[in-house]
Amino acid sequence: MLRILLLLIIVAGVAGYFTNPKAEAYVQPAREAIGNVGEEQLNNGDVIGAVTSGAQSVGIGGEGEYTNYYVASSYSLPNAQNPTVTCYGAFTKVWTCQRTNGGGDAPASGG
């Protein structure tokens, strides 16, 4: 029984490695996650928040940062140090894209 379980884990790991989504698969879902936030804020009556998020999405230029974890991967837009959107995926599918606060509320370290 333990051998069968170990074999299944190995097969799933190999399948995950060869079906890991590439960076190009993340671009469209990440941009959609940025665009949807402005619409949600307008529907809730938060006009200032919608304008601010729209300005942030226009300021995001070219490429995001792709991180490969061998059996899964992540994509941060604009980069991993200050992400606006972070997406995770595995098995050829982008599973989730979540808008972050941009890392702006991290406490400053004083010396």
pLDDT tens digit sequence for 67-94: 888 888 998 887 666 778 889 998 888 8
Residues of the chain with pLDDT under 50: 42, 47, 50-61, 104-111
What's the pTM value of the predicted model, to 2 decimals? 0.61
Residue 45 falls in which region: left (phi positive, over 0), alpha (psi -120 to 50) or beta: left
